[in-house]
């Protein structure tokens, strides 16, 4: 599952990088939780939680149905 998630994040990364941000895969747990680190402009953005939920999590869950949740870690 980790390879599938990384592939999806690679496609998402293009949009984030266009705005000066990025996302890094930290871990995928056995129970379907994806842990990511927001980087660049995304790390300090007040809208980062919305980006994580409405953009990153939505697309990852759509492309990898076994993912239950996407969480940001520091």
Say which CATH number the domain at 13 has: 3.30.300.130
Contact 55, 12 (CB under 8 A): yes
Residue 45 or 6, more confident:
6
Quote the mean pLDDT of the chain. Answer: 93
Q: How many domains does the chain have?
A: 1
Domain that holds residue 21: 2-72
Output the CA–CA distances (angstroms, integers) from residue 14 to 18, 23, 65, 67, in the order listed.
6, 10, 22, 21
Contact 42, 68 (CB under 8 A): no
pLDDT at 31: 95
Whether the pLDDT of residue 69 is over 90: the answer is yes
Whether the pLDDT of residue 43 is over 90: the answer is no
What residues have CB less than 8 Å from 4, skipping those under 6 apart?
Answer: 63, 64
């Amino acid at each position: 599952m980790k390879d599938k998630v990384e592939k999806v994040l690679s496609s998402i990364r293009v949009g984030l990088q266009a705005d000066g941000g990025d996302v890094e895969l930290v871990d995928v747990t056995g129970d379907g939780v994806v842990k990511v680190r927001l980087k660049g402009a995304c790390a300090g953005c007040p809208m980062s939680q919305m980006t994580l939920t409405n953009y990153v999590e939505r697309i990852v869950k759509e492309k990898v149905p076994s993912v239950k949740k996407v969480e940001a870690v520091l």
